[in-house]
Structure 1
């Protein structure tokens, strides 16, 4: 029964490992692009499961104790809270973590190079137009790829 709670390393090693993996995974998610995060598909679910499995040993270092699991879970929750707190208080940190919205189209002109760079397909863009009640690109006042991966479309004003 005692082995359930016996750590295989000092507690701070679990905190350090959890922090390092958290930063790594957050950086990888950030590099993967807004659209990849905003559109959660079955493939993304598989990727998420595999990433969780891949980093598991990096976090726990082979320790299977309940105490180690509790330390790692608390560390990850605290890190997530700290990141949320910092992004809510510091605009520069928010931009670093979440990025900035990107203009995809303005005044009826589509920017295809931006669509490609941001990994937005023409079909996804067309769907965003339809969802927002815009039939053609020429009717777009502004189309933005938001930091959460969603596309916001504002129609041109009719004077």
Structure 2
């Protein structure tokens, strides 16, 4: 059957019209972190958010108040985790991964590449995308907490102090 009755279709339409601007408002209230590049916790929250919105739209057993409460709870959890993470390095390490050094001073770190499941050719691709024609111009390559790869170019007589919090696995 194409659909059971018009009331259910109107219910979904009305819920969608109400929930869509509400989700936009909630995401704006939580700041720019939510729609940015994700770490694993942000990704989980985003998937859960989408699941809740989808369930809310098509399930007639979920009231408007229940849908808003569930979305509000997820927003609160995300806020609390990020708030505590900023204030506690130990907690931050539990919920977020550390950046990992993949290449440093002319050498790939095979153990780091293996554990992060990144091939050397992927590092070369990122170097090319950053306009780098030779790894001799690269000080370091880091797999960031959001899954992106950063290239730090060599600068004469200047240490790469941005590598302080980067995890170094065996060479």
Could you say which TM-score interval applies, normalised by the shorter chain?
0.5 to 0.7
Residue in 1 aligned with 2:117?
Answer: 119
Could you tell me the TM-score, scaled by structure 2's length? 0.53
Structure 2, unaligned runs of 5 or more: 1-10, 12-38, 158-171
- Higher relative contact order structure (alpha carbons within 8 Å, sequence separation ≥ 6): 1
CA distance in 1, matches of 2:145, 2:126: 15
Higher helix residue share: 1
| CA deviation string 1:5-42 (max 9, x = no partner) | xxxxxxxxxxxxxxxxxxxxxxxx849xxxxx7xxxxx
Aligned residue runs from structure 1 range 4-153, under 5 A: 30=40, 52=51, 63-153=61-151
Which of these two proteins has the greater Rg computed from alpha carbons?
A: 2
Root-mean-square deviation (Å): 3.3
Could you tell me the TM-score, scaled by structure 1's length? 0.56
Structure 1, unaligned runs of 5 or more: 5-28, 32-36, 38-47
Residue in 2 aligned with 1:18?
Answer: none
The aligned length equals 112
